[in-house]
């Protein structure tokens, strides 16, 4: 590890900007790879002592795959994925409300599932040329002229040309610069339980069941595993807490494959449980030399499966604009202009889908279900296209390697 004096040395030896990335999550590692591809010096600091294979499942849809291909990461990620030929949204009786079953030749058929831990490990192994500091956090970030000086918790100081906050919804970088102007965090008034179990049902596609104030998702993973997520409205005072036993009782009326899933589910299964929260508004930069990506910039509810995908799009876009050779300030400004409308649309759409899926009134749920069944398939596909195509098109025009 370099000494504090070495870390504080000017970086004028390299004509390309030195970039400090705060956070080694999905978006931070993708940005690291993109910058390494274009010959930049990259330093990454991560508060955890190591890359942890934690979490549950993630869906990588067409736009995310296109961005990973441009970042030259798809070859490393693909072996850990499982292709999903379709996804069905059903009511509590298993009757289809909406289905997404693209032809295998369609571009949108590029939909995959992957365990979050496997994705992080694949990304990290692809960034071996970057300098990583683990168990380390920023304490102070000072922008002085054309340089940014970041003082770390280990008493070292790093000088860089650009700092990127990829440190999640509770971003230190964002709050450090914005203070009382922070966008703030908002609850979606829902709570989610996630787990990975054996795929006893041998599912080959994704399912989501919508019941009043409840949703259950089942997504197969590689290795005969199954990623499941249960979403409920936050319990009111005096209501039963969200436990596996309680949920098995509440979801007992669901048809297969949900019924079979609960029959095999053990009450001791390891569960991740948390309230679903989001930023009140996207925030893509906080200073001409400090950008934000991923959840630090636009943490959103997971209702569209686009949280990770938008962070990957951010990473490709920022790496490409820094690579263009313009001044760092111009790259950050262009990044904000390029991404602002896109992330705001996805962020807002995800929130609306969550509200629709968590309706509690049986009458409203019945009306919602009828409307969804009446929607022409062509209209549903246009909705998918409007979600995925803009990101795929952006990725295709942002080549990092000639």
Is 196 a domain residue? no
Q: Which residues contact 299 (CB under 8 A, 6 or more apart)?
A: 168, 169, 185, 277, 278, 279, 307
Top pLDDT among 67 and 101 is at 67
User: Is residue 104 over pLDDT 60?
Assistant: yes
Contact between 215 and 357 (Cβ < 8 Å): yes
Q: Mean pLDDT across the stretch 259-280?
A: 88
The confidence score (pLDDT) of residue 5 equals 36
Please say if the pLDDT value at position 237 is more than 80. Answer: no
Output b/e per residue, 264-300; b: 16+ Cβ within 10 A.
Answer: ebeeeeebeeeebbbbeebbbbbbebbbbbbbbbbbb
Tell me the C-alpha distance between 86 and 111, whole Å: 8
Residue 177 lies in a domain: yes
Is 391 part of any domain? yes
pLDDT of residue 7: 41
Split at pLDDT 50, 70, 90, the class of 71 is very high
Q: Is residue 212 part of a domain?
A: no
Q: Say what the pLDDT of residue 264 is.
A: 87
State the Rg of the chain over Cα: 22
pLDDT digits (tens, 9 = 90+) for 133-192: 999 999 999 999 999 999 999 999 999 999 999 999 999 999 999 998 999 999 999 999
The domain tally of the chain equals 1
- Residue 293 included in any domain: yes
Q: How far apart are CA 372 and CA 339, in angstroms?
A: 30
Phi-psi region of 72 (alpha: psi -120 to 50; beta: other; left: phi over 0): left
Beta-ladder partners of 221? 225
> What pLDDT does residue 4 have?
37
Residue 121 lies in a domain: yes
pLDDT at 396 over 70: yes
Place 315 in a pLDDT band, splitting at 50, 70 and 90.
very high
Among residues 281, 294, 384, which one has the least CA distance to residue 63? 384
- Tokens for 243, please give them: 């436990």
For the chain, the average pLDDT equals: 91
Over pLDDT 70: what percentage of the chain? 95
- Does the pTM exceed 0.85? yes
* Banded model confidence at residue 239, pLDDT cuts 50, 70, 90: low
* Dihedral sign of CA atoms 262, 274, 301, 70 in order: negative
Average pLDDT over residues 35-64: 93
CATH of the domain at 18: 3.50.50.60
Q: How far apart are CA 81 and CA 220, in angstroms?
A: 10
Residue with tokens 């596996």: 244
Tell me the per-residue pLDDT of 301-311, one tens digit each, with 9 for 90 and over: 999 999 999 99
Q: How confident is the model at residue 345 (pLDDT cuts 50, 70, 90)?
A: very high
The backbone torsions φ and ψ at residue 335, rounded to the nearest 5 degrees and listed phi first, read -60, -45
Residues of the chain with pLDDT > 90: what percent? Answer: 77
Name the pairing type of β-strands 214-221 and 225-233.
antiparallel
Q: What do you get for the CA distance between the two ends of the chain, in Å?
A: 33
Residue 198, beta-bridge partner list: 225
Closest CA to 120 of 175, 164, 180, 56: 56
User: Who has greater pLDDT, 239 or 162?
Assistant: 162
Range of the domain at 297: 4-79+116-185+280-360+378-396
pLDDT above 60 for 376 = yes
Tell me what the mean pLDDT of segment 25-35 comes to.
98
Q: Which contiguous run of DSSP H or E holds residue 160?
A: strand 157-160
Given a cut of 50, whether residue 2 has pLDDT beyond it is no
The pLDDT of 215-219, averaged and rounded, is 96
Look-up: residue for tokens 């961005």? 67
Phi, psi of 280 (to 5 degrees): -70, -25
183-202: average pLDDT: 94
In a domain? residue 223: no
Kindly state whether residue 151 falls inside one of the protein's structural domains: yes
> Would you say 70 and 77 are in contact if contact means Cβ atoms under 8 Å apart?
no
Torsions phi, psi for 371 (to 5 deg): -65, -40
* Residue at token pair 């703030």: 184
């Amino acid at each position: 590890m370099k000494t504090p004096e070495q870390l504080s040395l000017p970086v004028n030896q390299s004509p390309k900007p030195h970039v400090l990335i705060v956070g080694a999550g999905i978006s931070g590692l993708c940005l690291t790879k993109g910058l390494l591809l274009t010959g930049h010096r990259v330093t990454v600091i991560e508060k955890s002592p190591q890359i942890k294979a934690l979490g549950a499942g993630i869906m990588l849809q067409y736009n995310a795959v296109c961005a990973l291909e441009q970042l030259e990461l798809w070859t490393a990620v693909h072996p850990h994925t499982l292709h999903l030929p379709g996804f069905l949204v059903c009511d509590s009786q298993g009757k289809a409300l909406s289905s997404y079953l693209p032809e295998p030749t369609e571009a949108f058929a590029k939909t995959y599932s992957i365990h979050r831990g496997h994705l992080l490990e694949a990304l990290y192994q692809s960034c071996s040329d970057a300098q990583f500091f683990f168990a380390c956090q920023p304490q102070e970030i000072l922008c002085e002229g054309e340089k940014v000086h970041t003082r770390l918790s280990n008493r070292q100081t790093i000088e860089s040309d650009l700092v990127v906050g990829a440190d999640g919804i509770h971003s230190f970088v964002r709050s450090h610069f914005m203070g009382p102007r922070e966008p703030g965090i908002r609850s979606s008034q829902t709570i989610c339980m996630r787990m990975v179990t054996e795929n006893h049902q041998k599912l080959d596609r994704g399912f989501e069941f919508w019941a009043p104030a409840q949703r259950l998702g089942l997504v197969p993973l590689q290795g005969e595993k199954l990623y499941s997520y249960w979403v409920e409205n936050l319990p009111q005072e005096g209501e039963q807490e969200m436990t596996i036993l309680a949920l098995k009782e509440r979801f007992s009326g669901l048809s297969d494959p949900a019924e079979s899933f609960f029959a095999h589910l053990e009450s001791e299964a390891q569960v991740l449980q948390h309230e679903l929260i989001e930023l009140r508004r996207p925030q893509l930069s906080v200073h001409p030399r400090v950008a934000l990506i991923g959840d630090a910039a636009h943490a959103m509810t997971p209702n569209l499966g686009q949280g990770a995908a938008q962070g990957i799009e951010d990473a490709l876009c920022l790496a490409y604009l820094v690579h263009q050779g313009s001044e760092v300030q111009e790259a950050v400004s262009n990044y904000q202009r390029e991404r602002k409308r896109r992330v705001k649309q996805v962020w807002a759409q995800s929130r609306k889908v969550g509200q629709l899926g968590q309706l509690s009134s049986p009458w409203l749920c019945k009306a919602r279900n009828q409307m969804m069944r009446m929607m022409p398939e062509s209209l549903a596909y246009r909705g998918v296209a409007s979600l995925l195509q803009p990101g795929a098109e952006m990725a295709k025009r942002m080549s990092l390697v000639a």
